Amino acid sequence: MSKGSVRAAPPRAQLLLAFAAVYVIWGSTYLAIRFAIETLPPFLMAGVRFLIAGSILYGWMRLRGTPRPTKAEWRSTAIIGALLLAGGNGGVVWAEQFVPSGVAALLVATVPFWMVLLEWLRPGGERPSGGVVAGLLLGFVGLMLLVGPGEWAGGGVNLLGAGALMLATLAWASGSIYSRGATLPAAPLLTTAMEMLAGGALLMLMGLGTGELAAIDVGAVSGRSLAALGYLIIFGSLIGFTAYVWLLGVAAPAKVSTYAYVNPVVAVLLGWALAGEPLTARVAVAVAVILGAVAVITLARSRKVSLPPVEEPQPGAGAAELRRAS
């Protein structure tokens, strides 16, 4: 969707509800993931989540008369689904075994850093401005503060989990850039459904390949984990993303992308309030530094071209929508 095609403003109440859904629901999915993987294996849990949500969305779009996708469209969405959901979301889910949900959300908020670097390095890519470089440097300072060793107000973050999250954000950024030139269906929600189906299938294979199925103890699966999985399917992958797509059609992309700043704050506060995750001085300062860096990069780039919003390798956001927001 182009900037010039934004429709007339809808009722204020609808806008507030939609923004609340994107801000709070997407911010809360990090904690939901942590609860889900308490007694469910991470890759299989994520695979089930996206296969169910993708099947519901795909069936709904086809019943509405959306044309059957072509082989080329399936190939493109499979690649994007592998990068965004299997690599991106799968990395987040796996890493949350070692990293608090709030810290995971902060590290995922660094996707714009990778977007800038990959865009610069690709043939014919855009060279970052001085403001973007300043934001990148500030962001890496925040990351060093968050994950580096030290005794100030507690130790650093688990390096294995932090490394997995960095790879996840790199996969997400790569999938987003690839999607710009990919052959995709005209219907954004059909694209998203196909990405969820492809990514979900790959996550299931990853779970089976790592022996998660044999490790499942059905009797030990808690009601909280099952409720969290249901929350991720219904609220994270269906309601939250539907609100996001609707907002892209009625509000300026720059406003919609503000969820990138709010989600980590929501995740940190929920992790502290509901899961007993520590909220130390180190984490608090890292929150300010990392989000400040994301803001600097986004504002610097917006003078030339809008930066694609930071999506969690998260609630099934489709690459087509990321592209439309740019």
The Cα–Cα gap between 259 and 312 comes to 10
The Cα–Cα gap between 56 and 192 comes to 11
* Residue boundaries of the structural domains of the chain: 8-324
pLDDT score at 314: 46
The Cα–Cα gap between 298 and 115 comes to 11
Question: How far, in Å, are 31, 128, 236 from residue 273 at the CA level?
Answer: 11, 39, 20
Backbone phi and psi for residue 325, each to the nearest 5 degrees, phi listed first:
-85, -5
Which tens digits make up the pLDDT trace of 210-258?
999 998 999 999 999 999 999 999 999 998 877 876 776 677 654 666 6
Q: Which pair of structure tokens corresponds to residue 61?
A: 């779009």
Handedness of CA 207, 212, 216, 222 (dihedral sign): negative
Q: What is the DSSP string of 41-107?
A: -HHHHHHHHHHHHHHHHHHHHHHTTPPPPPHHHHHHHHHHHIIIIIIIIHHHHHHTTTS-HHHHHHH
3-state DSSP assignment of residue 134: helix
pLDDT score at 5: 43
The Cα–Cα gap between 225 and 64 comes to 33
Identity of residue 114: W
Q: What is the DSSP string of 258-321?
A: THHHHHHHHHHHHHHHHS-----HHHHHHHHHHHHHHHHHHHHHHTTSPPPPP--S-S---HHH
Structure letter (DSSP) for residue 155:
-
Q: How many CB atoms lie within 10 A of CB 219?
A: 6
Identity of residue 309: P
User: pLDDT 10s per residue in the chain (326 long)?
Assistant: 444 444 456 788 888 888 888 888 988 999 999 999 999 999 999 999 999 999 999 999 999 999 999 999 999 999 999 999 999 999 999 999 998 888 888 788 777 778 778 877 777 777 778 887 887 788 778 777 766 654 344 456 788 998 999 999 899 888 888 887 889 898 888 998 999 999 999 999 999 999 999 989 999 999 999 999 999 999 999 988 778 767 766 776 546 666 767 787 888 888 888 888 877 887 788 778 877 877 787 677 655 544 444 444 444 444 443 333 33
Closest by CA position to 310, among listed 32, 34, 88: 88
Which tens digits make up the pLDDT trace of 159-168?
899 899 999 9
CB 180 within 8 A of CB 48: no
The Cα–Cα gap between 164 and 317 comes to 20
Burial class (CB in 10 A: 0-12, 13-18, 19+), 211: exposed
Q: Which pair of structure tokens corresponds to residue 263?
A: 């989600």
pLDDT score at 308: 42
pLDDT score at 320: 42
